[in-house]
Structure 1
Amino acid sequence: MSAVRTVLGDVRPDLLGVCDAHDHLFFRSPRLPGQELGRASAARAELAAFVAHGGGSVVQWTPYGLGRRAADLPALSRETGALVVAATGLHQAVHYDDGTLAGLRGRLAEVFVAELTEGIGTSGVRAGLIKVAGGFHALDAHARWTMRAAAEAHHATGAPIAVHLELGTGALDVVDLLCGELGVAPPRVILGHLNRSPDVVVHLQAAAAGCYLGFDGPSRAHHGTDWRMPGAVRALADAGYADRLLLGGDTTTAGARSVNGGPGMPYLLRRVRPRLAVELGEEGVDRVLTHNPARAFAVDWP
């Protein structure tokens, strides 16, 4: 039977409730010095704020080596009442030192499978998805290496593959590689950050291929595309692809958290939800926030 693999164990998909399908409770990268998401108390407050606005679950896309703090996630889930899904996977090469990447050569898929089936480190927390990343309008050698490993891990476990698209670009290259060459069923692929490149023609092609389309990371000052996102979502819904849409907050810096005066996780429900309701209606937005993630993250685990 299909289940979503959360940090508290496998649950029925319908228990996710209102889902932030792409966010971060913990995150640390050398590209964001001084903006680490590393304090458990701040993560707890942010998660509680999301729950207070009607949230039920959060999918953390933080992959291997970027400060996931998997051992802290079960307590946060229990204390706030929100279900949390953790990730395995690997980000772009720029987020890692050479030694870390060298240590994963020849065993990357093995690491992914182990974290999905046995647990992340000694935490005992099993990941529920695989997160990888493309490049700007292209797939470099690192992206192809990680996606091949992700596909191998997917074929061994059934886990969905979530893809960071750099500034929303390269979606069709990802589809060609993962779903074409590597044989991953399109509904098992989630294409993230499409709001950052609101090309409706590309969105429609990716949706027609059968992938899930992630619109995540609203309210970013350096991504001046928020005003185009509702129209892009409406175009997809009008074309019959409302069942392919996912929404997420993608909070990656301490300054962006609501507890620090930023929009944070609650912004997804406080501002994005009512704006999209103008385009899709309340029932349509409810389906995007509840039914779609329940399907996207559900797996017939071996």
Structure 2
Amino acid sequence: MRAVRTVLGDVPPERLGVCDAHDHLFLSSPLLPGQELRSASAARAELAAFRELGGGSVVQWTPYRMGRRAADLPSLARESGVNIVAATGLHQARHYGDEVLAEVRGPRLAEVFVAELTVGIGVSGVRAGLVKVAGGFHGLDAHARWTMAAAAEAHRATGAPIAVHLELGTGALDVLDLLCGELGVPPERVVLGHLNRSPDLVMHRHIAESGCYLAFDGPSSAHHATDWRMPDAVLALVEGGFGQRLLLGGDTTTAAARSVNGGPGMPYLLRRVRERLVAGVGEGVVGRMFTENAGRAFSVEWR
């Protein structure tokens, strides 16, 4: 039986409701000094605002040793009534100090992923529901290849989906060649993120033809020029017959971006992005992106 692994346990995919397919409640990185997402009260407020607009689930892509605060997630899920999916995985090397990477050198990385998917993250007992890894700008370095090989091994052991940060939306075909070609991960178990940041409609179609999921997750102040192109990119994929492969997310990565601090935050996805997409492709199609598509992308016959 297929199920989505949430921080409160496995649930059937139809229980997700409206799903923010890529966001962060907690996140810390040396690349974001002073902008870390550490406040539990702010996370609680974001979830409440998201729930008020009809939100039902949030998939947090924060991976290993980036401030996930896994122990806080169950209480936030219970209080808000929003399903939360946690992640294992490893981001680009620049998000970590050498000492962190040394902890998981070699084959141990896959073991860490599998343990967090099946036993729990640290002592929290919270099990992750996906593996998050990252590519580079128009390519894959040795670190990306290492983490993706470990992600593929964890997928084979558990069935878990693999979510990929594409740097500025680039490198998707290299990722698919590695994950789905060389490493044998079924494309329907792969979610490619940040495709809104590279609005190349021809490339999007090639990616969609592989059978993977395409996540349009933003907005991003660093890439605001692509925001207005996103509805056209979504429309082109829907008209091409790929609407069942599209996911939508908010990807809040800094404290300043939270709605409680005057930014768009998680509510923006349902407050503004949804209505703009509905105008372009219709309410039914957008509704399925938020619900049915997310349920298929993140549900697993867990091993």
For the residues of structure 1 that align with 2:67 and 2:102, how far apart are their CA atoms?
A: 19
The residue type paired with residue 50 of structure 1 is F
Q: CA deviation at 1:222?
A: 3.7
Q: What residue number does 1:112 align with? A: 113
Q: Specify the code of the residue in structure 2 equivalent to 1:82.
A: V
- Summarize the alignment of residues 263-274 of structure 1 with structure 2, pairs less than 5 Å apart: 263-274=264-275
Question: What is the aligned partner in structure 2 of residue 212 from structure 1?
Answer: 213
What is the one-letter code of the residue matched to 2:270? L
The structural deviation recorded for 1:271 is: 0.3
**Corresponding residue for residue 54 of structure 2:** 54
State the match for 1:198 in structure 2. Answer: 199
Residue 175 of structure 2 corresponds to which residue in structure 1?
174
2:285 corresponds to 1:293: no
Amino acid corresponding to residue 52 of structure 1 in structure 2? E
Q: Distance in 2 between matches of 1:186 and 1:220?
A: 30
1:214–1:248: 8 Å Cα contact kept in structure 2? Answer: yes
**Distance of 2:128 and 2:220 partners within structure 1:** 28
**2 CA distance for matches of 1:225 and 1:212?**
20
SS of alignment partner, residue 108 of structure 1: helix
1:90 positional shift: 0.2
Shift in Å at residue 217 of structure 1?
Answer: 1.4
Q: Equivalents in 2 of 1:154, 1:223: separation in Å?
A: 34
Which structure 2 residues correspond to residues 128-143 of structure 1 after superposition, within 5 A?
Answer: 128-143=129-144
Cα distance in 2, alignment partners of residues 115 and 203 from structure 1: 32
3-state SS of the aligned residue for 2:46?
helix
The CA distance in 1 between the partners of 2:241 and 2:67, in whole Å, is: 39
| C-alpha distance in 2 between matches for 1:220 and 1:6 | 30
> How many angstroms does 1:21 deviate by?
0.1
Q: Deviations over 1:238-281 (max 9, x none)?
A: 00000000000000000000011100000000000010001110
Q: Give the distance between the partners of 1:44 and 1:276, measured in 2 at CA.
A: 27
Helix, strand or coil at the partner of 1:149: helix
Unaligned runs of 5+ in 1: none
Q: Distance in 2 between matches of 1:270 and 1:219?
A: 16
- Number of residue pairs the alignment of both structures matches: 302
Which residue number corresponds to residue 283 of structure 1?
A: 284
Shift of 1:221: 4.2
Counterpart residue identity of residue 299, structure 2: A
Does residue 1:152 correspond to 2:147, yes or no? no
1:28 alignment partner in structure 2:
28
Describe the SS at the equivalent of 1:252: coil
Structure 2: distance between partners of 1:274 and 1:222: 20
* Equivalent-residue separation in structure 1 for 2:185 and 2:218 (angstroms): 26
Alignment of 1:205-284 (within 5 A): 205-284=206-285
Quick one: which amino acid aligns to residue 12 of structure 1? P
**Structure 1 runs (4+) greater than 6 angstroms displaced:** none
Q: Identical aligned pairs, as a percentage?
A: 76
| Partner Cα separation in structure 2 for residue 102 and residue 111 of structure 1 | 13
Q: Contact 2:35 / 2:256 at 8 angstroms: preserved in 1?
A: yes
1:89 corresponds in structure 2 to 89
Aligned to 1:75: 75
Q: Indicate conservation of the 8 Å contact 2:197/2:223, yes or no.
A: no
Residue in structure 2 matched with residue 125 of structure 1 by the alignment = 126
- Please give the secondary structure, in 2, of the residue aligned with 1:225: helix
Q: 1:219 deviation in Å?
A: 4.5
TM-score normalised by the chain length of structure 2: 0.99
**Partner of residue 65, structure 1:** 65
User: CA RMSD for the aligned pairs?
Assistant: 0.7
Q: CA–CA distance in 2 between the matches of 1:76 and 1:150?
A: 27
On the 8 A contact 1:219/1:263 being kept in 2, the answer is: no
How far apart in 2 are the matches of 1:121 and 1:220?
Answer: 34
Q: Which amino acid aligns with 1:4?
A: V
- Unpaired segments of 5 or more residues in structure 2? none
Alignment partners' CA distance in 2, 1:177 and 1:154: 14
TM-score (norm 1): 0.99
